[in-house]
Amino acid sequence: MNILIVRLGALGDLVHAVPAAAALRAAMPDARIDWLVDARHRPFLDLVTGLDRVVTLDGRSVSAWVDVIRRLRQVAYDVAIDFQGLMKSAVLARASGARRVLGFSMWHLREKGARPFYSETDDGTADTAGAVRHVIDKNLQLLKVLGVSADAVRFPLADVPSDVMRHVGDEPFALINPGAAWPNKRWSPERYGEVASFLRDVRGLRTLVLWGPGEAELASAVVDASKGAARLAPATRIPDILALARAASLFVSGDTGPLHLAGAVGTPIVAIFGPTDPERNGPWAADDRVVSRWALCECAYQRQCHAATWCLDDVTVSEVSAAILQRLGSSASSRQRHV
């Protein structure tokens, strides 16, 4: 069987789709499994083992779409599975020429107009009563249309050597990631700095502060506020973040791609959530901790805060510090995870 996965981005959502790809490979070891993704996210998918081909959408132009459809149609796909639920992902799944096109029910779609492009959907029963499921569980639920079930959440990610590890040393350390693509997901760098001081003074952990493109100033502000407890991490790529997360004792961050990378390799997490629902998008390990203002947020799933009071401004260093003590003092997760 030839299977095409369609999940174009973003990084955290790609991480959340990996367990579905792993479940497909476990159930169909002889199948061909390809994944269609935006070109900028290919470095992550190159680390996902069990895929036969990564197909990239190289831009938003008409010529880019024509080119990717031509490449997709070189393979006679039996099934295309849209894990994104947008018009563009649904159109590309249908345009692949696959005999069957699977997608979410109307309950799960981000854009309802995607539904006519699917030949089959999951029934969406779990959400009809207002229940919320994690995105990972929704993706695995969709596979039941193919008769595929998963007995565990698995993240088959290659362990690639990273040069940044030579900057780390042998002492235990924590990672703080203050950045996020959405401005209203970024907690105060000054408060992150206080958390780094707490980690040093109470838990004996030094802190590395991660940063991505355009985030060096933000990360430096955390270091400056830490009273010498934190230092700036080297510039990192996806394999570097995974290597650091595998070695770290703790990961503290808002809802952003590196947080979910850390979760995929089993790093203990304390997450800070505001405009997104942690039950749907947050850490999935039972022992991880979330400090959330989701219930109070007036700008749910919006990139910018337009409310009179920003929900994350209400999150205190004491709350996050208490969550850290709970997480680092907890037992191993009861939910099975495999890397």
For residues 144 and 202, membership in a common domain is answered with: no
CB-CB contact of 85 with 73 (8 Å)? no
267 domain residue, yes or no = yes
The parent domain of residue 53 ranges over 2-153
For residues 62 and 193, membership in a common domain is answered with: no
Task: Give the number of domains in the chain.
Answer: 2
CB-CB contact of 210 with 181 (8 Å)? no
For residues 226 and 332, membership in a common domain is answered with: yes
- Domain closes at, from 153, 174, 194: 153
CB-CB contact of 311 with 272 (8 Å)? no
Task: Write the DSSP assignment of 86-112 as a string of letters.
Answer: SHHHHHHHHHTT-SEEEE--TTT-SSG
For residues 210 and 242, membership in a common domain is answered with: yes
- By C-alpha distance, which of 219, 241, 260 is closest to 10? 260
How far is Cα 75 from Cα 225, in angstroms, rounded to an integer? Answer: 54
For residues 176 and 81, membership in a common domain is answered with: no
137 domain residue, yes or no = yes
For residues 136 and 205, membership in a common domain is answered with: no
* HEC string for 170-233: CCCEEEEECCCCCHHHCCCHHHHHHHHHHHHHHHCCEEEECCCCCCHHHHHHHHHHCCCCEEEC
Question: What pLDDT sits at residue 123?
Answer: 75
189 domain residue, yes or no = yes
Residue 157 Cα to chain centre, angstroms: 13
For residues 149 and 224, membership in a common domain is answered with: no
How far is Cα 141 from Cα 135, in angstroms, rounded to an integer? Answer: 10
Phi, psi of 308 (to 5 degrees): -65, -30
Question: What pLDDT sits at residue 107?
Answer: 82
For residues 135 and 185, membership in a common domain is answered with: no
Question: What pLDDT sits at residue 151?
Answer: 87
For residues 14 and 88, membership in a common domain is answered with: yes
Question: What pLDDT sits at residue 169?
Answer: 86
For residues 108 and 215, membership in a common domain is answered with: no
Q: What is the CATH number of the domain that holds 81?
A: 3.40.50.2000
Which residues share a beta bridge with 175?
Answer: 208, 251
Question: What pLDDT sits at residue 292?
Answer: 98
Phi-psi region of 55 (alpha: psi -120 to 50; beta: other; left: phi over 0): beta
314 domain residue, yes or no = yes
- Domain closes at, from 153, 172, 187: 153
158 domain residue, yes or no = no
DSSP character for 128? T
According to DSSP, the β-strands at 269-273 and 289-292 are parallel
Question: What pLDDT sits at residue 132?
Answer: 56
One digit per residue, the tens of pLDDT, for the chain of length 339 reads 999 999 999 999 999 999 999 999 999 999 999 999 999 999 999 999 999 999 999 999 999 999 999 999 999 999 999 999 999 999 999 999 999 999 999 888 889 999 999 999 997 554 444 455 899 999 999 999 999 999 899 999 999 999 999 889 889 999 999 999 999 999 999 999 999 999 999 999 999 999 999 999 999 999 999 999 999 999 999 999 999 999 999 999 999 999 999 999 999 999 999 999 999 999 999 999 999 999 999 999 999 999 999 999 999 999 999 999 999 984 443 333 333
For residues 146 and 184, membership in a common domain is answered with: no
332 domain residue, yes or no = yes
- By C-alpha distance, which of 21, 46, 317, 290 is closest to 197? 317
- Domain closes at, from 93, 127, 153: 153
Phi, psi of 302 (to 5 degrees): -120, 140
Question: What pLDDT sits at residue 116?
Answer: 96
How far is Cα 103 from Cα 116, in angstroms, rounded to an integer? Answer: 10
Tokens standing for residue 71: 């490449």
91 domain residue, yes or no = yes
How far is Cα 112 from Cα 133, in angstroms, rounded to an integer? Answer: 19
For residues 189 and 307, membership in a common domain is answered with: yes
15 domain residue, yes or no = yes
